[in-house]
């Protein structure tokens, strides 16, 4: 998917996520944008909806948070499942993908005649710095 020009609200939300060191909840984003006129959750959720659609932001289901894509410019997401390693101590997120994992998972579901739409892989744990 090619990313169209972002609207004002979309740009504001995206910039907050880009500058952040880790994933943010929608309400945290809202708080950071109050100075820019944001008043209600929906302003954030609507922007996020589009940013997710464009593939420039990911939602981390296991922690109800959002993060800017770590591979800007790539369109690798259209070819495979994205996986995340999330540090539960410092919040750092590593994003990666593995075609063999994709292949195994998609092979299994195809064998069940299941039609996959969206796959979540999230590994919570401790990053190198925090585990030390």
Partner DNA sequence: ATTGCAAATGTTATGTTATTACATCAATTG
Partner DNA sequence: CAATTGATGTAATAACATAACATTTGCAAT
For residue 112, the 8-state DSSP code is: T
Q: Using H for helix, E for strand and C for coil, what is the string for 8-66?
A: HHHHHHHHHHHHCCCCECHHHHHHHCHHHCCCCHHHHHHHHHHHHHHCCEEEEHHHCEE
Query: Does 126 engage in binding with a second copy (CB under 8 A)?
Result: yes
41 binds, among DNA, Zn ion, a second copy, none (CB under 5 to 8 A by kind): DNA
Query: Does 1 engage in binding with Zn ion (CB under 5 A)?
Result: no
**What x-and-dash track marks residues 16-55 binding DNA by CB under 7 A?**
---------xxxx--------xxxxxxx-xxx--x-----
Coil, helix or strand at residue 77: helix
As a whole number of angstroms, the distance between CA 127 and CA 11 comes to: 30
9 binds, among DNA, a second copy, Zn ion, none (CB under 5 to 8 A by kind): DNA
Beta-carbon contacts of 109 under 8 Å, excluding residues fewer than 6 positions away, are: 115, 116
Residues 66-125 that bind Zn ion (CB under 5 A): 69, 71, 76, 87, 89-90, 92
CA geometry: angle 86, 52, 59, nearest 5 deg: 25
Give the footprint of a second copy on this chain (CB under 8 A): 61-62, 83, 85, 87-88, 94, 96, 98, 100-101, 104-105, 108-109, 112-128, 131
Give the footprint of Zn ion on this chain (CB under 5 A): 69, 71, 76, 87, 89-90, 92, 127, 130
Give the footprint of DNA on this chain (CB under 7 A): 7-10, 25-28, 37-43, 45-47, 50, 64-65
């Amino acid at each position: 998917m090619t990313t169209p020009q972002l609207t004002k609200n979309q740009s504001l939300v995206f910039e907050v996520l880009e500058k952040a060191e880790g994933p943010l909840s929608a309400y945290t984003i809202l708080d950071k944008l109050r100075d820019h006129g944001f008043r209600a959750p929906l302003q954030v959720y609507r922007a996020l909806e589009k940013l997710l659609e464009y593939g420039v932001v990911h939602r981390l289901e296991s922690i109800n948070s959002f993060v800017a894509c770590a591979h800007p410019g790539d369109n690798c997401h259209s070819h495979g499942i994205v996986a995340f390693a999330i540090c539960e101590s410092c919040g750092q997120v590593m994003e990666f993908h593995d075609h063999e994992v994709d292949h195994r998972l998609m092979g299994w579901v195809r064998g069940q005649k299941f039609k996959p739409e969206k796959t979540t892989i999230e590994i919570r744990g401790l990053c190198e710095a925090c585990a030390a």
